Amino acid sequence: MEKNSILAVWKDLEKRGEKAIAWLIDPDKWDYPWLEAQAQKLQQWHIPVYVFIGGSYIHRPGRLAALIEALENFSFPTILFPGHPSQLAEGVDGILVLSLVSGRNPAYLIDYLVQAAPQLQQLQQKGIELIPTAYLLLDNEKQTTVHYITQTRGIPVDKPELVAYTALAATFLGMQVVYLDSGSGAKFSDAIPFVLRTLKKVIPENTPVIYGGGLRTKEQIQRCFESGATLCVIGTALEDFTIK
C-alpha cells in the first residue's frame, strides 16, 4: 500500500475518528451545468469529499467516459463503483473491487471479477488504485435497482449480527473496506445506526466502513457517522444538503 493511497487515507480517517462524504454520480444522469453547480456546493463543505462513479445498470456507456473527463475540472478524487466489468475505465484515481458477499449469485461474488481481472491488472499498472471491498446489500423492505439487477436479496436490517459476521468473514478473505448499501431510492431506516454499531464491534479495528442508501438529511448522515460509518454516500439528494 502506498503511503498516500486512498485506502491508506481512509484507514487514517477511521483511526482518527474523522469522516468523509462520497458523492455517487450515475453516468446516465448528469449534465455539465448540474455537475458544476453541485461540485461548487461540495467544495464549500468542511469535510473530505470523494466522487464515486457508477450505477447498477448503465445504458449509455459513452457517458461514463464523458463524466470522467468532465470531473478532471474539479479537485475531488474519483473512484469507480462498477456494477459490471463493462463499467471499468481509465482516468480515475481508484476502483472499488467489489464482491457481493451478502448474496449467493456467483456472478457478483467472483465470476465478474475473473472476467475483469486482466483489465484490472492493466489499470493497476497504469497507477489506478484497486480497493478490495466487501459489498453488502441490506434488505430495507423495498426492492431497489441493485437488488433487481443482482438477483439477490439483502440481509434484513433486523439481523445486525448476520451483517456483522458476513463482513467479518470478508475481512478474513483479505477485503479491506466494508460497503453497506440499502440501494438507491431506499428509505432510511432507524435500524441502520444499530447495524453500523454492531458491525463496528465485530470487524477489525480501523477497517473503513461505507454506508449508502436513503440518506436525505444531514441528521441522518450524522447518525451514521456517530454509529461508525467512515464515509456516507449521497447521490441525487445532494441538492437538499447544506452541511458545512
* % of residues, the chain, pLDDT over 90: 79
Q: Which residues contact 85 (CB under 8 A, 6 or more apart)?
A: 112, 115, 116, 119
pLDDT of residue 185: 76
- In this prediction, the residues of the chain whose per-residue pLDDT falls under 50 are 1-3, 243-244
List of domains in the chain: 6-240 (3.20.20.390)
Q: Determine the 3-state secondary structure of 90 from DSSP.
A: coil
- Give CA–CA dist 19/222, Å, rounded: 10
Nearest Cα to 96, choosing from 186, 189, 212, 201? 212
Query: Could you tell me if 138 and 181 are in contact, meaning their C-beta atoms sit under 8 angstroms apart?
Result: yes
pLDDT of residue 239: 60
pTM for the model: 0.95
Query: Could you tell me if 202 and 180 are in contact, meaning their C-beta atoms sit under 8 angstroms apart?
Result: no
CA distances from 244 to 21, 23, 119, 225 (A): 12, 15, 39, 15
Nearest Cα to 160, choosing from 200, 111, 187? 200
- Give CA–CA dist 196/231, Å, rounded: 12
pLDDT of residue 130: 98
- Helices 32-42 and 62-70 sit at what angle, rounded to 10 degrees? 40
Strand-pair partners of 134:
99, 178
pLDDT of residue 1: 40
- Give CA–CA dist 241/201, Å, rounded: 30
Query: Could you tell me if 180 and 211 are in contact, meaning their C-beta atoms sit under 8 angstroms apart?
Result: yes
pLDDT of residue 186: 83
CA distances from 187 to 23, 57, 137, 183, 241 (A): 18, 20, 14, 9, 17
Q: Which residues contact 205 (CB under 8 A, 6 or more apart)?
A: none
pLDDT of residue 45: 85
pLDDT of residue 148: 86
CA distances from 173 to 113, 166, 240, 241 (A): 15, 11, 38, 37
